[in-house]
Amino acid sequence: MKQSVMLRGTGILCAVFMAVMLLCGCSRREPAAETGITIAVIPKGTTHEFWKSIHAGALRAGEQEDVRIIWMGPLREDDRDAQIDVVESMIARGVDGIVLAPLDDMALRMPVRNAVAAGIPVVIIDSDLSSDDHISFVATDNRAGGMRGGMLLAEKINGEGRVVMLRYQEGSASTMNREQGFMDAMEKYPGITVVSHNQYGGATTESAYSASESLLAPFKQDDGLTIDAIFCPNESTTFGMLRALQDSGLAGKVVFVGFDSSDKLVEALEAGQIHGLVLQDPVNMGYLGVKTLTAHLRGEPVEKLIDTGAALATPENMLTPEISALLNPEF
- Give the CATH number of the domain where residue 190 resides: 3.40.50.2300
Judging by beta carbons within 10 Å of its beta carbon (0-12, 13-18, 19+), is residue 132 exposed, middle or buried? exposed
State the pLDDT at residue 329.
Answer: 82
Question: Does 133 lie in the same domain as 106?
Answer: yes
pLDDT band at 240 (very low <50, low <70, confident <90, very high): very high
Residue 302 has pLDDT above 70, yes or no: yes
pLDDT band at 331 (very low <50, low <70, confident <90, very high): low
Question: Does 151 lie in the same domain as 127?
Answer: no
Tally of domains in the chain: 2
* Rounded average pLDDT over 200-204: 94
Angstrom distance (rounded) from CA 60 to CA 126: 18
Question: Does 46 lie in the same domain as 59?
Answer: yes
Question: Does 293 lie in the same domain as 213?
Answer: no
State the pLDDT at residue 47.
Answer: 87
What are the tens digits of pLDDT across the range 176-189? 999 999 999 999 99
Residue 14 has pLDDT above 50, yes or no: no
Q: Which of 67, 102, 52 is nearest to 290 (CA)?
A: 67
* Rounded average pLDDT over 264-290: 97
* Rounded average pLDDT over 159-169: 97
* Rounded average pLDDT over 263-267: 96
307 within a domain of the structure (yes/no)? no
State the pLDDT at residue 35.
Answer: 64
What are the tens digits of pLDDT across the range 16-53? 333 333 333 333 333 445 568 999 999 999 988 899 99
Question: Does 272 lie in the same domain as 174?
Answer: yes
* Rounded average pLDDT over 85-94: 98
256 within a domain of the structure (yes/no)? yes
Question: Does 241 lie in the same domain as 169?
Answer: yes
Residue 154 has pLDDT above 70, yes or no: yes
Question: Does 221 lie in the same domain as 184?
Answer: yes
Q: Which of 154, 185, 63, 139 is nearest to 305 (CA)?
A: 139
* Rounded average pLDDT over 100-111: 96
Angstrom distance (rounded) from CA 261 to CA 234: 9
Residue 118 has pLDDT above 90, yes or no: yes
What are the tens digits of pLDDT across the range 55-89? 999 999 999 999 999 999 999 898 999 999 999 99
Question: Does 157 lie in the same domain as 102?
Answer: no
Q: Which domain holds residue 113?
A: 29-140+282-300
State the pLDDT at residue 34.
Answer: 57
Question: Does 111 lie in the same domain as 57?
Answer: yes
Residue 92 has pLDDT above 90, yes or no: yes
State the pLDDT at residue 124.
Answer: 98
Beta strands in the chain (DSSP E): 38-42, 68-71, 97-100, 122-125, 136-139, 161-167, 192-200, 220-221, 224-225, 229-231, 255-259, 276-280, 305-307, 310-313
Angstrom distance (rounded) from CA 88 to CA 308: 28
Angstrom distance (rounded) from CA 218 to CA 318: 33
Question: Does 188 lie in the same domain as 260?
Answer: yes
pLDDT band at 2 (very low <50, low <70, confident <90, very high): very low
pLDDT band at 230 (very low <50, low <70, confident <90, very high): very high
